[in-house]
Structure 1
Amino acid sequence: MISTYLSYNLVARDMKAAMNQVAQQSQVSREADYFRDNIGKVTSAEEFVDDYRLYAYAMKAHGLEEMTYAKAFMLKVLESDLSDPNSYANKLTDKRYREFASTFQFSSNAVTVMSQNQLDEAIGLYGEHFASQDDLIAAETDYYKAMATRVGSVDAFLADPRLRDYMFQSFGMDGGTADLAFLRAVLTSDLSDPSSYFNTEVAAQRNASQALLDSHQPVLNAISARQTAIGERDYIVSLRTAIADAQTLIAEKQAQMSEPGADTAALQGEINDLTATVHLRYADFAEYGLFAMYDEQAALVAAGQGESPEAVALDAKITAWTADYDARWAIVTSLQNIANLTAAMAEPGADTAAIQAEIDTELAAIVTSEAGLVVTPGDVDQMVADKDAEIASYDGTLPPVGEETVALQQQLYAEASQATNYLAVTDKFVKLAEAYNFNTDGTVPVEGFQTAEQLQATTERYIFSQDRLTKSGALLDDQYFRDKIGTFTTVDEMMADERIVTYLKGAFNLSTSLSVVSSTLANAITTPSSEADLEDPNNYLVRFHSGRDYYDDLVALSRAFNFNEDGTLPEGAVPVNAEKLDEISSRYFSGYDDVYEEDDELAVKRLKLDLAALADSGSTVDDLFASAGAYRFVMTAVGLDAGEVPQRIMRKVLTSDLQDPKSFVYTLKDERYVQFAKLFNFDSNGNFAAPLAAQDDATMQQYAKDYIIQKTRFLSGDEATQARSAAEDEARYYADALADIDTLDALLADRRVLDFALTAKGLDPRSFSDQMLRQAFTSDLDDPKSFANQYGDYRLKEVVTSFNFDRSGKLVRPAAGVISSRGGTVETMNMFLRQTIEEEQGIDNEGVRLALYFERMAPTITSAYDILSDTALYAFFKTTFSMPAEISGMDVDKQAALVEKYLNLEDLADTGKLSNLVKRFTAMYDLQTNDTSSSLASVLFGNASADVSFDTLMSLSQLNRR
């Protein structure tokens, strides 16, 4: 018999050759062909486990052959969410199940509108877009200012896209629809010349439009006023009718009261209800009349006649009618109380005397209330007559009520709307003409195309025309506040300036509080707010805002100003002291963008919700366009305006072949469109597809995990923490770099990425030159003689197939919805060959199988507990170091300490030391099983026991089923 080591070495010294030899066996070849040809056709986990040949092949490859019968169990493993630590597979102690589920996951190449990496990039670009706005504003403004005196003509100005776009942005114009010939004519018009283009074409039409509005609006107002009067008259008449009807019924009920056998109690109840109706309708009338009186009173005050006899008389009438309104509601309340008391009196055991006393009290209250009634039927009739007169007053200026008036109103409204729209549209052209000083022949004055004042106004327009307030705009607002605040003498003056109000809201973190309006600020500023003042429960701040999130900010606002409670300033005082002014300014720069941060958080939430909805619907590019949260977010992220770029263009962008330099997206010569297309996954028909990425997310995440394990093996304490941190940084670089790699040349040019992948696979990057890697990645994987297939370590081919490049270096979209990626399939087939080799070797010598198994698993061992938890690995250790079977009964931690005492785990990462360890095992195995007389074993280890332990035999038995 040959020695165990010699048998082992015959296989291990050229594992690739051994695998190739096994692969040529007819049964192995048939199963491999079936697996390779059919694994990509599986569309569900159920279908996978139901195909016994596929399923059994995969189970054997992953060392789970003994569990092949447990389909229900394995189905739960396959359906586990590996990102959830509490998922079924992650809760199993045997990591082989997690590795199996990781290899066969539909999510790795699933059809999706946006992968997690793409989502992260979109969110990052969105933040960068707004973060870079200040730099962009500064760059464009500097360029604009620099060119103000360098541009020689209006034609040169309009021909420069940066100057032209700056003007468009500043004056709110759509550059895509702008008529440059028209703009040239406007810019070169002499506004003081009545015959200039602007005055004859634009201003003349604006004057005509304004004249039309001036003539139409009074008529439209009259039509509206008459219609309002008609509606009011109808309302008053309805009240009068209801009152009259109720009074008629009251008279009838009162007559029935005297009839023989009449149910007087029931009739009285009906009379009371009808009486309540009369008073309610009079109360409605009084309320309507009071509203009209309040309007009349306000008009008198505005006209400076608040103390006139007419105003005094009106005030008295308001008082009387208010009392009437209150009295009628009091009567209605008493009548309702009487009805309730009358019903209570009929209850068994009722104290009728006491109840009657209460009824009498209510009746007396009614009599008292009736004494204060002043509104009469005559008042109602008079108001109807007044409304009739008001309606008739339009007879001379308006057509009769009906179709003729409706037709006139529609005609005038259409013409007025057109005129209003023209004025609104051309407002920007008025501002444009006033903002530039081009000569009428198109040349530029010596001082430039704008004066210093015009230039400053335009740059401020540009800054404030952005989607949100930037730091540049905040600086302007702060300067405005500093310049303006000292000019206010009252709070009302200050609150009338909307820019100041907005500034204060930003400075005191009140921008996101919808309930805080300008009056809130005014009341806070004029409310005493010392600690003693805030002890008063009736203090405005305490009473209305205590307990709110913004309470402390509102108190800080109050303390920042010097205004009196009446809104004026003390003699010689300024609104804000210098110290407080700097404090307010500091607060402003800390909080002016809070509202945007909140908006951004909501935008990201909506993006994710929209993407989830799109994923559920399995939709198309048209559904993306309809999903405003996702579409507009990403358009903004790449610097495109969803409102300006037609969707027909974006449809072509999204369906372009990013690997074809002649595809539509590249003809636009704008990187923003390419960037947009890369953030989504659509095929040429506009359907969702698998992500077009150098490596799919699942594989990338697995490589990251494996890399971190390789870099932190055997480390502990601070050393392990530092190594993990460095490995995680490298993993982030790996993911970020792969997101930008879209050609094989780009991948091969980034050695850092390739070294990461090699390390994750347990390969030493130093063993691979750039030329070797190029040969591997450009190999024909279907050719057994290609470099990747001939290379001695099969893991290199696994690295190559984990990336989505073809031989020509073109990035290819992986098949969507398949259970195993290309790399996963190759890895599984390699694992199957290794398992088969180990099984076949075990038939002749279990020691060879155990040695091959340990050599294969050694790169995955990170602690003594990995050995203890694997029966075969533990058997290898015990045999190697002649450990008695009884140690298995020791405390687990003590067993781990024993493993660490005899075995330096770091030696497993050293090829030479690992080889020596295997040699020692084979020698000890032969010695214990007496399969061969090994003089070397006698020399190295002395007279060891010739009997193999029962635990080792059990371990080998377990290994047979791995």
Structure 2
Amino acid sequence: MAIDLSALLGGNVSSATVSPLAMFKKLQKLAEENKAEHASDSAAEQAKSVVREFNNAATRLRNSQYKQSNAQVQNDVIYFKNRVNSATTVSELINDDRFLRVLANANGFGDLFSTDKQKLKDILTSDLSDPASAAYQGSLKELEFAKKYNFGASGTQLDANGNIVGIDASGKLVNDGSQATDLPAGLAKLKGLAVDLNGTALVVSGAAKPSDNGKLIAGPDVASNDAAAYSKALTKPLLQEQAAPDPSAAPSYYEYDGTEYQTYVKRKDLQKDVDYYRENIGSVKSLDDLFGNQRLLTFVLKSYGLESEAQYPGKIRKIIESDLSDVNSLANRFQDPRYQQLTKDLSVNILGTGKLTLQSTTDDIVKKYQQTSYEQYLDDQAPGVRAAIEFERRIKDVTQTVQLLGDSVLREVVTVANNIPKELAYQETDAQIAALEKRVDLKNLKSDQGEIDKLVLRYLTFKDADGTGSSQSYLLNLFG
């Protein structure tokens, strides 16, 4: 068992004599205090999440209604355009409520359509040569509305040369005598003809090509403009749902963040490594650059507790390049979840080294590096503590017994806690799994925090009893 020799040696002894069990209990207490301190923040975020989901449900319902309404608007637009193209008289349009609704709303007369449809019709069909007509008796806006369409014009439409304008068999406006149907003068503007003050259709004159002279001149595309105005006025923009905060950007607390941790991360040797990483990671443009700089590579790997893997660059590179969607990729073939997490966080298979050099990624890796370094420091004082910490964090993500064997940290804890000899590793995998399952009920262990605590405490007790917690074991022999 680890023994504190500070009293024997004048109080100037490495803290590596600390009992792993005592150290772990101290850390558990700190973690509970930190958790309690941040509980209110967590509760507030949970409350916000409930409100956000309630609001989003209402937003989805409203958007569903908006989509139906917008679909109807688009149907109205299509109907309106088709009606303009097929109309042969003014009266069939004026008496078509669906057509008239689009026309009114496109020009700001939607309320009049709803409250006094007859007045709207009277304005549109006013005789613009009669000062007593409805258009002249109303507002300037109403007069301009009537002039825009000139539905009150009577007779057949003529061009400036006195030719009859009509609609040929293909629906095209012509003035060459080939028309199948004469065009009513009241439809000329809506059909897109340029008309002068006398109501005659304008024609080309003085053209470079004499054959173009006498052809009809197109006026404003009134129908298309009305359709666009109606769509803009009545189409409802869909509401945006409230997005949940980005988990990677959300503030989080480190469970062992206390005075000792804050003092530790300010150490000059640690800060030197951090400064070097921040100053040089931006120059990495490819994996060749990363693997060509041993110091940067080791920093990244240590952040995930994988610094020992730096001696196997070929293996690590293939893991980082793995496609996690492929179950047979190298990262997925390893049971240790740290490999998958490293591969996922860097996303090299998708983004190259682009994500690695982002400021947010740099901050995250530096934070991981500081925490991992601190836990290694604790483990130097009381061997076994870091494994206990990692076990508590990761055991609930384990789904198969083989993962316990494939993860060096998890394997260490379960075998020591259950007095399983290291020689187990020499057996076939199936035999190892069977031997472990006799002592460990993975399903029960994962679902019961009390069982996790008991197993970890057994591990630390046996670790403590080994005497491996003391770097002063040679002094113990002197007093044996």
Same fold (TM over 0.5): no
TM-score (norm 1): 0.22
TM-score (norm 2): 0.41
Find the structure with the greater CA-based Rg. 1
